[in-house]
Amino acid sequence: MKMIVGGAQIGGIQKDEGRQAVVARMMALMEQAHEKGVEFLVYPEMTLTTFFPRFYVEDRSEFDHWFETEMPNAATQPLFDMAKRFGMGFTFGYCELTPEGLHYNTSILVSPEGEIVSKYRKTHLPGHAEYEADRTHQHLEKRYFLPGDTGFNVVRNQGAIMGMAICNDRRWPETWRTLGLQGVELVTIGYNTPSQNNLSKEEGIERRVYHHELSVCAGAYQNSTYAVAVAKCGMEDGNHMFAGSIIVDPDGFVIARATGEGDELIVAECDFDKCAFGKSTVFNFAAHRRVEHYGRITEQTGMKIEV
């Protein structure tokens, strides 16, 4: 089964840029996608706001205005309406504040009929929860979000088995294999990845981009699935995030790549029948996996050196 899939890379969103302005940018890319026959469109992580976890605030409730308390809402309804008019499925990430007052870094998957058919809350939160003075840049996702409570799930949408992950999730093989064990054929990953180094000085942007692409290509290949990884990138209030949005096939080859750091559409035809070969040969999990030897992966959280 074939599908034209698009990635809508979004350039920097400044602190004072309202959601309406961002949604207008998203809709411009959706129109471009429609003109190119795109049937399913992937937007980045936290698509509606700037990457605010770079800022420290003592009272976290001061940042509740970065969160959505309902979805769709006034700001995003026009996007849902356009997608339904185009008969296009899509996914995007946003910051979710639940009625119970819980904060998540969330992604939803919307069917061409305009229904939210899947919700995912980011599992792997990088960074730290308290201000760390020795860092050149703060990365406070652990301060503002709870670890997701959904786990990694798949949904059959537009005839394909689709699963969502968010940003740091792409670096963890567990993300991919958990989806692979459910037969996933398309993994979507929105990301916001700072280029600046705040861990060690020698790492450059080239190495960070390499690790991003390596993670996505390996995950796709090792689970014989397509992957669409889409950045929010460019400059946000003087802070740079790298681009590198890509569409990857089940052999781990990049079949579409963004060239710039702004709003940019990438498109590729996915032939989901291509997923079957890997799933029935090299990555025929039932034939080859030996779960009796994998216990550490779920029983042990941290590394233990006992030799």
> What's the rounded Cα separation, in Å, for the pair 217 and 248?
6
CB of 210 to ligand ING, least distance (A): 11
CB of 191 to ligand ING, least distance (A): 5
Q: Using CB under 6 A, which of 54, 103, 208, 232 touches ligand ING?
A: 208
Task: Name the residue nearer to ligand ING (CB basis): 86 or 104.
Answer: 104
CB of 281 to ligand ING, least distance (A): 31
**122 labelled catalytic:** yes
Stretch that binds ligand ING, among 6-14, 88-96, 174-182, 191-199 (CB under 6 A): 191-199
Stretch that binds ligand ING, among 2-10, 67-75, 185-193, 259-267 (CB under 6 A): 185-193
195 is a site residue for ligand ING (CB under 6 A): no
Site size toward ligand ING (CB under 6 A) is 9
Instruction: Name the catalytic one among 95, 167, 270, 275.
Output: 167
Task: Name the residue nearer to ligand ING (CB basis): 123 or 157.
Answer: 123
Which of left, alpha, beta for 149 (phi over 0: left; psi -120 to 50: alpha)? Answer: alpha
Residue that is written with structure tokens 């969502």 in the block:
164
CB of 92 to ligand ING, least distance (A): 15
114-133 residues near ligand ING, rule: CB under 6 A: 126
Contacts (Cβ under 8 Å, ≥6 apart) of 45:
93, 105, 107, 122, 166, 167, 190, 191, 192, 232
Task: Name the residue nearer to ligand ING (CB basis): 167 or 247.
Answer: 167
Q: Are strands 246-248 and 239-241 parallel, antiparallel or unpaired?
A: unpaired
Stretch that binds ligand ING, among 9-17, 109-117, 190-198, 222-230 (CB under 6 A): 190-198
**304 labelled catalytic:** no
Instruction: Name the catalytic one among 45, 96, 185, 264.
Output: 45
Instruction: Name the catalytic one among 39, 96, 122, 264.
Output: 122
**167 labelled catalytic:** yes
Question: Interface residues with ligand ING (CB under 6 A)?
Answer: 126, 167-168, 171, 191-194, 208
Tell me the catalytic residues: 45, 122, 167
